[in-house]
Amino acid sequence: MLLGKSQIDPGFLASTARASGQDTLSHCYQCGKCTAGCPTAFAMDYKPNQIIRLLQLGHKEKALGSRAIWVCAGCFTCTTRCPCGIDIAQVMDNLRIVARQEGRTGQGKRAVLFNELFLRSVRRNGRVFETGVVAAFNLKIGKPLHDTELARFMLKGRKLRFVPVRIRKTAEMAGLFAKRKKG
Ligand code: SF4
Ligand code: SF4
């Protein structure tokens, strides 16, 4: 669907370039190398090259409302491939930040929830307690048995624990989180 002029934010390219430190964002010429190497492109509504194009055209709503920015795994494959030196992974990260700041996490609700539970686990234990995070996530989304068949393989490979293993200095870790929150 084509967007009307009123839905175009001509300053969004510049603000994204500034916030993500990418002064070559406007140089993208749609070679598609980023998308060709992206391991999660198959699940995206807009491919990485299309997200960059949306930015160039000022389609802020579409970029921030996309599923793609939440499906991005931050693997940096796109970044290493871009002939224009654009750090696409950083751009995706910045779009997630802006989407959260502006309360537009509709497509990424589960990703945001998972991130919060993951960080809460790290704050408490000093490292992630996978079983606890997944159990809390499943309960929050109302599907207690979601993906439990995968647990079988992880248990077999002794990759899952039923009690958290804490670092000794959990108070220091909590302090780091508190400091980050203030900053
Ligand atoms: S690899 Fe770089 S230049 Fe090519 S489409 Fe992706 S962002 Fe654009
Ligand atoms: S950082 Fe994101 S967009 Fe780039 S290749 Fe990895 S998953 Fe795809």
Q: Clarify whether residues 36 and 59 are in a common domain.
A: yes
* Centre of ligand 2 from the C-alpha of residue 53, in Å: 15
Residue 99: alpha-carbon gap to chain centroid:
11
Is 2 a member of any domain?
Answer: no
Measure the N-to-C terminal CA separation of the chain; round to a whole number of Å: 41
Q: Domain containing 83: what range?
A: 8-104
Cα–Cα distance, 169 to 172 (Å, whole number): 5
**Residue (of 30, 105, 34) closest to 64 by Cα position:** 105
Task: Tell me the pTM.
Answer: 0.83
Mutation to probe ligand 1, out of 82, 88, 90 (largest number of atoms < 8 A from CB): 82
**124 and 166 inside one domain:** yes
Measured between alpha carbons, how far is 72 from 7 in angstroms, rounded to an integer?
A: 25
The per-residue pLDDT for range 64-89, each reduced to its tens digit, is: 999 999 999 999 999 999 999 999 99
Find out whether 128 and 122 touch, Cβ atoms under 8 Å.
Answer: yes
Going by CA atoms, what residue is nearest to atom 8 of ligand 2? 38
Q: Are residues 88 and 12 in the same domain?
A: yes
Q: Which ligand is nearest to the CA of 79?
A: 2
Which one of 88, 95, 96 would you pick to mutate in the ligand 2 pocket, going by the greatest count of ligand atoms within 8 A of its CB? 88
Distance 134 CA to ligand 2 centre (A): 23
- Atom 8 (ligand 1) nearest CA: 28
**What three-state secondary structure class fits 116?**
helix
Do 14 and 84 sit in the same domain of this protein?
yes
CATH number of the domain that 62 lies in?
Answer: 1.10.1060.10
pLDDT, tens digit (0-9, with 9 covering 90-100), for 50-63: 999 999 999 999 99
Rounded CA gap, 12 and 8, in Å? 9
Q: How far is CA 42 from the centre of its chain?
A: 16
Taking CA 78 as the corner, what is the angle to CA 75 and CA 83, rounded to the nearest 5 degrees?
150
pLDDT in tens, the chain (183 residues): 444 555 799 899 999 999 999 999 999 999 999 999 999 999 999 999 999 999 999 999 999 999 999 999 999 999 999 999 999 999 999 999 999 999 998 888 999 999 999 999 999 999 999 999 999 999 999 999 888 888 788 778 777 888 998 999 889 888 998 888 776
Same domain for 78 and 146? no
> Is there a domain that residue 60 lies in?
yes
The domain tally of the chain equals 2
Q: Are residue 119 and residue 151 in the same domain, yes or no?
A: yes
